[in-house]
Amino acid sequence: MRFAAFIAGVCVLALPRAAFSQQNFDTVQVRSQKVAEGVYMLTGAGGNIGLGVGDDAAFVVDDQYAPLTPKILAAIAQLTNKPVKFVVNTHWHGDHAGGNEHMGQAGALLVAQDNVRRRLSTQQVLAFFKDTVPPSPAGALPVITFSDTITFHLNGDDVQAFHVAHAHTDGDAFIVWRKADVVHAGDVFVTYGFPFIDLDSGGSIDGMIAGCDVLLTLGDENVKIIPGHGPVSDRAAVREYRAMLMTIRDRVSQQKNAGRTLAQTQATHPTSQFDAKWGGGFIKPDQFVELVYRSLPERKR
Ligand SMILES: [Zn+2]
């Protein structure tokens, strides 16, 4: 999403694009932190950036918002003197792919799952946020797309991107540094609260849960996991997040199958045991119940 407001670079809030365009990025600082040998996470405003460095090239996962590109490139230049050769998008949302055009102009090849290019090429309506996103300029579109998986062999590592079907969107990818044992999970896994599921872009609660199952198979037990938003995380956190998703999904599903309306389901507070930990993000408990309810199949009569 075009997360517009941010506090200390981590708190996000979704606002219509009009508000976003008035956002002042001048005060945003792009910071880097080492995740593993040769892999860094960069934070500024928007989704976490993954950066691989080494003898060959800088390899970047997600690029936040367009106005931040000079700061992002400056932060990368602090860590490597190699050019950015590839930028992989974890999905099409503007807080992850907004810098694509500038990164392309700076010489990077843009790479993403097929559906990312398809959605960036055409107008997208995000009913949940009452937002309409116009098609991106040609220079912002991925020039290399993949359906299921693609592997980059550089910097002494094998870096693999996998498609995760119908999770946060229909074009999500996990990116795995095999040797460094790091995964960038995009917005299928976030730590700021209940996750946004973009139903208008083909997302679903069942896909989010299935995505967590895949995520838990990647890397070793001590794998470092870069979430779409929030601090560097691990498998234990993904397991807890998955259990939360599953519990709420089952409760909402039971009620929907019993013929209850969305309002009736919300009134039973199916998220209540998780609200203290997860309810403080930009997706409120009732909104999360709505996303789950709407993404579940209609009751069979
Ligand atoms: Zn997103």
The 10s digit of each residue's pLDDT in 274-289 is 999 999 998 999 999 9
Q: Distance from the CA of 196 to the center of ligand 1, in angstroms?
A: 7
Q: Distance from the CA of 290 to the center of ligand 1, in angstroms?
A: 17
Q: Distance from the CA of 164 to the center of ligand 1, in angstroms?
A: 13
| Residue that has been written with the tokens 């599903």 in this structure | 253
Q: Distance from the CA of 193 to the center of ligand 1, in angstroms?
A: 13
Q: What is the pLDDT of residue 15?
A: 40
Q: Distance from the CA of 182 to the center of ligand 1, in angstroms?
A: 20
Q: What is the pLDDT of residue 300?
A: 62
DSSP class of 67: G
Q: What is the pLDDT of residue 97?
A: 97
Q: Distance from the CA of 130 to the center of ligand 1, in angstroms?
A: 15
The 10s digit of each residue's pLDDT in 27-59 is 999 999 999 999 999 999 999 999 999 999 999
Name residues with Cβ closer than 5 Å to ligand 1, which is an ion.
93, 187
Q: Distance from the CA of 274 to the center of ligand 1, in angstroms?
A: 22
Q: Distance from the CA of 215 to the center of ligand 1, in angstroms?
A: 17
DSSP 244-292: HHHHHHHHHHHHHHTT--HHHHHHT-TTHHHHHHHTTSSS-HHHHHHHH
Residue 29 structure tokens: 């600082």
Residue 100 structure tokens: 């694509």
Residues sharing a CB contact under 8 Å with residue 204, sequence separation 6 or more, in sequence order:
166, 167, 197, 295
pLDDT for residue 95 is more than 70:
yes
The 10s digit of each residue's pLDDT in 203-252 is 999 999 999 999 999 999 999 999 999 999 999 999 999 999 999 999 99
Element (H, E) at 301: none
Residue 247 structure tokens: 């519990």
Helix ranges, the chain (H): 17-21, 69-77, 94-97, 100-105, 114-121, 205-215, 235-257, 262-267, 272-278, 285-295
Residues sharing a CB contact under 8 Å with residue 268, sequence separation 6 or more, in sequence order:
251, 255
Q: Distance from the CA of 300 to the center of ligand 1, in angstroms?
A: 31
Which residue type does 169 have? T
Residues in the chain: 301
pTM above 0.75, yes or no: yes
Which residues sit opposite 14 in a β-bridge?
3
CB contact at 8 A, 276 and 258: no
Element (H, E) at 90: none
Q: Coil, helix or strand for 233? A: strand
Q: Distance from the CA of 93 to the center of ligand 1, in angstroms?
A: 5
Q: What is the pLDDT of residue 5?
A: 35
Q: Distance from the CA of 81 to the center of ligand 1, in angstroms?
A: 30
Q: Distance from the CA of 276 to the center of ligand 1, in angstroms?
A: 23
CB contact at 8 A, 94 and 65: yes
Rounded distance between C-alpha atoms, residue 141 and residue 119, angstroms: 10
Q: Distance from the CA of 2 to the center of ligand 1, in angstroms?
A: 8
